[in-house]
Amino acid sequence: MVTPLSQIRNFSIIAHIDHGKTTLTDAFLHATHTISDLETRERVMDSNPIEQEKGVTIKLAPVRMDYNYQGQDYVLNLIDTPGHVDFGYEVNRSLAACEGALLLIDATQGVQAQTLANFEKAKNLGLKIIPVINKIDLPSADIDQVMLEIMDLLGAAENEIYKTSAKNNLGITEVLAAIIEKIPAPVGDANKPAKAMIITSLFDNHQGGIAYVRIMDGTLIKAPSYLLSTKTVFQPVEIGVFKPERQKRDQLTAGEVGYISTGLKDISNLKVGDTLTLQKDKDLIEKVPGYKEPTPMVYMELYPIDADDFPALKDAFEKLSLHDSALRSKPTHSVALGNGLRVGFLGIFHAEIVRERLSREFDLDLIATAPSVSYQLDTKHHETITVNSPAEFPDPSLIDGISEPVVKAMIFTPEKYVSSVYKLAREKRGILTNTQSTGTRVRLEYTIPLAELITDFHDQLKSVTSGFASLEYELSGYQKVDAIKVDIVIHGEPIEALSFVTVKDKVDQKGRDLVKKLKEVVPRQMFEVPIQATIGGKVIARETIKAYRKDVTAKLYGGDVTRRMKLLRKQSRGKKKMKSIGKVELNQETFLAVLKT
């Protein structure tokens, strides 16, 4: 039976990490009898163990709830959004599939940067926003202050704000009523050619790539289908909806949200935001606006500690890429570390998740280099090239100019920490563009180079604000920078994986700091090991790790001094020989040193 558009509500929940989005979702699933008490598992929607641990959602899991309100049956489609800054484009596409959103705010923490950034996205897409204060039952809840913040920042009236405790089922039916009464029904025409937007995708071993879709117009059936951006044709294996497990259907019509199992073995064909239609209608429809390719922002090299594990690393990456179409990788080689992969991530958090999965799910011990960003170089030959790592930088004499990526960052902090945030942002070359006070907290807007943000900015921000500040950012373009590449040479061998790019003002200091740090972490050898920081062959900093000294004369008691000297000379010759053929083994600590300078 086809559900009339007037009885469908598509909505999303916008919330900061740990503000209770998953708990509220679970409460909705109970209230609408979508799942029974027996089926309950804490954090139903976050199905990945790393997601559950970190308290964030990475893969979207839309769910369909049937709810009877005032004698009328409604279909409520909750389209979940990723809860982290790296997945901003996915959030945008999830919101574009909705007509409304719940703005969920923790009564103990108030409005955070990420909530506000996603609120702006929802507002720009014309969504109806319903503010909801959660965790009102906690002793530390400051409901009045949070209400003032919502009224101040979002321009909401007091009677438009709902108060809940998702954990204790307080206020849940009132919020469900608000979703039906306030969020408009979807707009679409079931008689037009089929047109659907991909919200996200995942890979299934039996059914291939599965696209999560919102049907914009027409009816989707199990007939040859077509993807507009990748021009891919496929025969669907299965069509259905989420309740919250997959449930087969014969068709999906305008306004509905569901999935289509494509049978495709390459998930990179299923791009978030792409338009899907029936093959027979491909020339009759236009793309859903707003589609763009996911672009990696942060690059890292991963090397197996055991060189024999490289095939296992490649295999693991291919398997991960099946579930994550935003991952980009290519083989690389380092003299010191052997074969590895150069990987592009959406952000530093995305990189963390992937590394953790490689370690846990595939049992791989990896060395990861410091993260780097893409630079645009103007060469003396009047070309503009993009380099994704310091290792790819050409000779300095060939470079005419360097541009680095910059972000628009929004920081929310309690007033008493503002001066500490100013100081940190200044050190990271941040330029303040706007400030706004809301009650006891301040919203600061900055332009900051991405390279300064991806190492430890977030940790330092949490540190200087006792964990109270929150950060949200988005790429805003490129700007000229007076930067230079520094090479690290250990025992006469350049270690490309340790090279870095920094601004000219900081180059001497950073070079000195790093070689000093490396002296502490590079393992000591039986021979002397020099560590140098160089720019185009010129040494700017040097430290030497002294050799171990075995007392070869320990067994001599008195006697002829010439015998003692002979033994010491023999030891010296042996060390000289080792120095010329000796190899310095590097461990993960060595590469972490780059992050800490």
pLDDT one-digit tens code per residue, 400-420: 899 999 999 989 888 999 999
* Per-residue pLDDT, 581: 41
Q: Residue 68, exposed/middle/buried by CB under 10 A (0-12, 13-18, 19+)?
A: exposed
Q: Which residues pair with 130 in a beta bridge?
A: 102
Written as one letter, the residue type at 275 is T
Q: Which residues pair with 106 in a beta bridge?
A: 134
Which range of 64-78, 218-232, 355-369 scores highest in mean pLDDT? It is 64-78
Mean pLDDT over residues 578-596, rounded? 58
* Per-residue pLDDT, 549: 63
Written as one letter, the residue type at 477 is G
Lowest mean pLDDT among 33-42, 378-387, 480-489: 33-42
* Per-residue pLDDT, 259: 92
Separation CA 587–CA 554 (nearest Å): 33
Contact 27, 124 (CB under 8 A): no
Residue 54 has pLDDT above 70, yes or no: no
- Name the CATH superfamily for 5-182: P-loop containing nucleotide triphosphate hydrolases (3.40.50.300)
pLDDT in tens, 532-541: 999 888 899 8
* Per-residue pLDDT, 72: 92
pLDDT in tens, 94-130: 888 899 999 999 999 888 877 887 888 888 889 999 9
**Band of the pLDDT at 86, cuts 50, 70, 90?**
low
pLDDT in tens, 169-205: 899 999 999 999 999 999 888 889 999 998 888 888 8
CATH architecture observed for domain 298-370:
2-Layer Sandwich (3.30)
Q: Which residues contact 47 (CB under 8 A, 6 or more apart)?
A: 59, 61
Q: Which residues pair with 380 in a beta bridge?
A: none
Q: Residue 508, exposed/middle/buried by CB under 10 A (0-12, 13-18, 19+)?
A: middle
**DSSP code per residue over 135-182:** -TTSTT--HHHHHHHHHHHH---GGG-EE-BTTTTBSHHHHHHHHHHH
Give the number of other CB atoms < 10 A from CB of residue 90: 22
Q: Which residues contact 219 (CB under 8 A, 6 or more apart)?
A: 190, 194, 251, 252, 253, 254
* Per-residue pLDDT, 297: 82
Residue 523 has pLDDT above 90, yes or no: no
**DSSP code per residue over 192-234:** SPPEEEEEEEEEETTTEEEEEEEEEESEEESS-EEETTTTEEE
Contact 423, 469 (CB under 8 A): no
Residue 551 has pLDDT above 70, yes or no: no
**Band of the pLDDT at 579, cuts 50, 70, 90?**
very low
| Parallel/antiparallel/unpaired status of strands 483-490 and 500-503 | antiparallel
Are 5-182 and 195-281 equal in CATH topology? no
Segments making up each domain of the chain, as ranges? 5-182, 195-281, 298-370, 376-481, 509-595
The matching CATH number, chosen from 3.30.465.10, 2.60.120.620, 3.20.20.60, 2.40.30.10, for 195-281 is 2.40.30.10
Lowest mean pLDDT among 240-254, 347-361, 478-492: 347-361
**Of 490, 404, 499, 504, nearest in space to 454 by CA:** 404
* Per-residue pLDDT, 578: 45
Residue 433 has pLDDT above 50, yes or no: yes
Give the number of other CB atoms < 10 A from CB of residue 161: 19
Contact 499, 594 (CB under 8 A): no
| Higher per-residue confidence, 301 vs 307 | 301
Separation CA 519–CA 510 (nearest Å): 14
| Higher per-residue confidence, 328 vs 516 | 516
Mean pLDDT over residues 426-434, rounded? 93
* Per-residue pLDDT, 580: 44
Q: Is the alpha carbon torsion for 460, 466, 467, 472 positive or negative?
A: negative
Separation CA 200–CA 271 (nearest Å): 7
Q: Which residues contact 539 (CB under 8 A, 6 or more apart)?
A: 532, 533
CATH architecture observed for domain 376-481:
2-Layer Sandwich (3.30)
What does pTM read for this prediction? 0.76
**Band of the pLDDT at 316, cuts 50, 70, 90?**
confident
Q: What is the mean pLDDT of the chain?
A: 83
**Contacts of 320-323 spanning 24+ positions with Cβ under 8 A:** 320/354, 320/357, 320/358, 321/267, 321/268, 322/203, 322/267, 323/59, 323/202, 323/203, 323/267
